[in-house]
Structures are given as structure tokens and as C-alpha cells.
Amino acid sequence: MIQRKPFTKTDIFILSAILLIAAAGYAFMNRAAGEGGLNALIYLDGELMETVSLDRDSAFSLETLPGVGFAVKDGAAAIVRSDCPDQLCVHMGWQRSPAGFSACLPNRVTLVIEEARSAEYQRIFTDLFDTTVVFRAAAKNPEEFDAYADAVSDELGRLHKLFDVYNDYDGLNNLKTVNAQAGVSAVEADAELLDLIELGIEAYEKSGGAVNIAMGACLSIWHDYREDGTAVPPAEALRQAALHTDIEDVIIDREAGTVFLRDPEMSLDAGALAKGFAVERAMERATEAGMEAGLINAGGNVRTAGTPSDDRDGWNVGIQSPELTGFDDGNLAGAVRVKDAAVVTSGDYQRFYTVDGIRYHHIIDPETLMPARRYSSVTVIHPDSGIADMLSTALFIMPIDRGKALLSEYGGEAMWIYPGGAAEMTANFGS
């Protein structure tokens, strides 16, 4: 709708003339120059049709209004005739309004030009990583926010497909492809998939095997029984599956860009860290698109960047109380304020089913092949969301002393909540 073009010399001359005329009291409004850019808001019959950000110095016209041109310089705006731009359209004078300056134009259009102020916007995605993803960011206008939100959803969508173990996608080798080729052949894979698997192998080594992404054979049995919801998997079936979970059988060839599962019965499940890894990359994409402050919450896996548009010095992130079964029901075990960091929680309340009154959740202790029972939830704060996700699962499984030792290798803070509600946290958790 709007066509923008940089100023030419003639434009500058014309604008100078306009500024003089304005000083003489024509229909022209001037504003104190602010720091940021300007927004042009186009209303049709009072309804906002479009918001476009403008440089403080620009000239533009509306396609729907032939013959009318607009000029903005140093925060001042003028309506000019586009066929004869040195002539002001004095009959279309600017009105002052609290928001800025508005002009009622022909064709039921109103144009408002105002200082671009940062506001917080939000978008929710429901089709990614099997959870609800909430993205919030500060932006000067909806158009700018959309660019950030698109960057986040594109990246999460891309990685969701790459890390999917259930679905095939045309022309894409994903985790499902790697699993299907176990014992058969090495699979060419995108660098990010190799990065994720390498982080998984690192997690195995650092956690002493508590986190094992090669445990897909066991985890898929638990997954199927959880979906069915009536019984606990037979111990023998789990033990048989556990014979095919040796991380040494995951062979990455960086030069060839391939991954091969040597054991035909093996499968990878990157659920312990894939979401956090993807959120980290998505935040990088949003930052590259120009976002200065934002937050991604992917089902309890939160990554924040910068500080919100008000005066707070970081983002407040709530930590859900494990005592509740629903998600997002607002009952919090606490809240922390963080800046440029991830806050990731693993809990026994996130995915579970109940048999004979006992809760069977989705984080499996490789030693017992049963749901880990030490804590109700563990929350980790770390600058990198992928590391935080990996650590939250590891710490959920490990005894607290070993968990603390692991945490100190990576840096970061953690809080462990025991069944019953007692909590233990590291010295600087949330401060």
C-alpha cells in the first residue's frame, strides 16, 4: 500500500521549502525529534489497516490515493501533491492527537504519523514440539514484531521437522530417517542434527549416563504404554530394549556429514534436549532479525533475551508448582528474574499417566528403567537453552550431589523440588 523511496536532492529542496512554509503557519505539524523512527498508521473508516515504519527522513505515497504524496523529515510530516511535490495540500491539514498527527484523506482514509514507541507483542504457536509456544517481544510496531515472530516460527518449524522421530518429510533426512536406517547405513544429515546428537553424546558423558539419547528403544515402550494409559511396561521388555542403548553405537562422521546407528535395534530420542536446543537457535534468528528484547516459552522451556520495554532489568519467569497437574494454571512455586538466560524445568507433572494410584511420568532413570523418583521438578537457569534443557533432565535423574557437580561444570543455577514440596537451590538461584 505504501511506497517508500529515499530522498533525492530535489526532495530535500522541496522539504526545505515545505519547512519554511510550515513555519509560516501552513497546515504542517512539527514535532520534537525523538530517538527512534516513526510509524505511519493507515486507517480505513476508522479501522487500522496497516502500520508501516518510516525513517525520520522519507517520502512516500499511498497506492490508494493517487496524487497525494507525503514527506517526513526530522520527525515532521507534510502532505504534498505527488505530481507537484513543492505544493502543500493545505486543505488536508494535520490534526494534532495524543498519538501523533493525523490527516483525514480522500477515500475514507486517515493517516496517522507518530513516534515509534516500543510495545510488547505476543504470538502463540500450537503446532511445534508437541507443546504450546509463546513468543513475546518488544517492537516498535506490529510489522517489526511480525518479522521477529516469523523468524522464530520458521526456525522452530524447521528444527521440529529435523528432530521429529514420528513423521517423514519430503526430501529431509531427520531423526526418524536415522532411526529407520539403524544397522543399515549411515545417513547424511544437516549440521544442526549432528550438533544435536553430539550434544546428546556430551550429555551422556557428563551425566555419567543419566541422560542417554540412544535410549529410544526403552523410551518408545514407555511412550506406547503412556498413550495406552492402562498398564506399566513389563520389566523384561524394558531390559531387552536396554540391551540396545549403547551410546558407543552412535557414529558421527563430521567430514562425511553423516550419522550411523551401528545397532539395528537402536533408536535415538532427543526429547531431553531437542526443544531447548531449538529454542536457542530460534532466539538467535530473532536477534539476527533485529530483536532486542524477547522471550520464548516452549512448554516450560523459557529463553529470554534483553530486557522488556518497561524499566525492569530482566524478564520475570514463573516456575510452575509441581503439585498441579494442568499446565499453565498459574499456581507458581516461585519466580525468577533473568536477563539473557534460559529457565528450563523438568517435572513429573508434565507428561504422565496413573496406574493403581501411582504416577508414571516421562523421565526414565537408565539404572532402573523406571520413572526417576528423586524430585518432583528441577529447574535450571543457564545462558544457553539447549544446555539448560539437557541439564534439567540430567539433574532430575541424578542424586543431588552429583547433580551439583555437573551443574558447576557448566555454570548456572538450579532448584530441586522434592515430592511434598521442600526445595533446595544453589546459592544464586534467581538473584
> What one-character DSSP code corresponds to residue 30?
-
Task: Give backbone dihedrals phi and psi of 361, rounded to 5 degrees, phi first.
Answer: -105, -170
What's the CA dihedral at 167, 172, 177, 183 to 10 degrees?
A: 170
- Nearest distance from residue 341's CB to Mg ion, in Å? 16
Q: Which is nearer to Mg ion, 114 or 389 (CB)?
A: 389
Nearer to ligand ADP, 20 or 405 (CB): 405
Indicate whether 61 belongs to the interface with Mg ion (CB under 5 A): no
> Are 406 and 387 a contacting pair, CB within 8 Å?
no
What three-state secondary structure class fits 388? Answer: helix
Binding mask 291-320 for Mg ion (x = CB under 5 A): ------------------------------
Q: Which residue is nearest to Mg ion (CB)?
A: 393
C-beta of 88 vs 398, nearer to ligand ADP: 398
- Least distance CB 356 / Mg ion (angstroms): 28
Please, what is the minimum distance in Å from the beta carbon of residue 264 to ligand ADP?
20
Question: Which residues are near ligand ADP by CB under 6 A?
Answer: 211-213, 215, 219, 269, 271-272, 275, 300-301, 346, 350-351, 362-364, 366, 389, 392-393, 397
397 binds, among Mg ion, ligand ADP, none (CB under 5 to 8 A by kind): ligand ADP
Q: Of 68 and 273, which has the nearer Cβ to ligand ADP?
A: 273
Q: What is the dihedral of CA 253, 260, 361, 354, to 10 degrees?
A: 170
Mapping DSSP onto H, E and C, the string for 259-290 reads EEECCCCCCCCCCCCHHHHHHHHHHHHHHHCC
Nearer Cβ to ligand ADP, position 142 or 208?
A: 208
Alpha-carbon Rg for the chain, nearest whole angstrom, is 28
Q: Rounded to the nearest whole angstrom, what is the least distance from the CB of residue 239 to Mg ion in the complex? A: 25
Contact at 8 Å (CB) between 410 and 394? Answer: no
> Which of ligand ADP, Mg ion, none does residue 321 bind to, with CB < 5 to 8 Å depending on kind?
none
Residue of 244, 392, 397, 416 that binds Mg ion (CB under 5 A): 392
Long-range (24+ apart) CB contacts under 8 A made by 324-331 are: 324/349, 325/349, 327/132, 327/299, 327/300, 328/132
For residues 371-389, one letter each, b for 16 or more C-beta atoms within 10 angstroms of the residue's C-beta and e for the rest, the string is: bbebbbbbbbbbbbbbbbb
Q: How far is the CB of 396 from Mg ion (least distance, A)?
A: 8
For residues 85 and 87, give the distance between their C-alpha atoms in angstroms, rounded to a whole number: 5
Which of 62-70, 131-139, 177-185, 265-273 is the region at the interface with Mg ion (rule: CB under 5 A)?
265-273
Given Mg ion, ligand ADP, none, residue 271, with its beta carbon under 5 to 8 Å by kind, binds ligand ADP
Q: Which C-beta is closer to Mg ion: that of 376 or that of 392? A: 392
Applying CB under 5 A, among 114, 384, 389, 413 the residue interacting with Mg ion is 389
Question: CB-wise, 102 or 321, nearer to ligand ADP?
Answer: 321
Q: How far is the CB of 213 from Mg ion (least distance, A)?
A: 11
Per partner kind, with CB cut-offs from 5 to 8 A, the member of ligand ADP, Mg ion, none near residue 269 is ligand ADP
Among 137, 272, 305, 338, contact with Mg ion (rule: CB under 5 A)? 272
How far apart (Å, rounded) are the C-alpha atoms in residues 242 and 34? 64
Distances (CA, A) of 342 to 45, 224, 262, 338, 417: 44, 31, 34, 8, 18
Q: How far is the CB of 363 from ligand ADP (least distance, A)?
A: 5
Please tell me whether residue 393 binds Mg ion under the rule CB under 5 A: yes
Least distance CB 419 / ligand ADP (angstroms): 17
Give 145: exposed, middle or buried? Use CB within 10 Å, 0-12, 13-18, 19+: buried
- Measuring CA to CA, which residue among 291, 326, 328, 282 is closest to residue 132? 328
The C-alpha cell that represents 394 in the structure block: 540430567
Residue 71 vs 272, nearer CB to Mg ion? 272
Residue 380 partner contact from ligand ADP, Mg ion, none using kind-dependent CB cut-offs of 5 to 8 Å: none
Residue 215 is a binding residue for Mg ion (CB under 5 A)? no
Per 3-state DSSP, what percentage of the chain is helix, strand, and coil (rounded to 5)? 30, 35, 40
Question: Residue type at 412?
Answer: G
Residues that bind Mg ion (CB under 5 A): 272, 389, 392-393
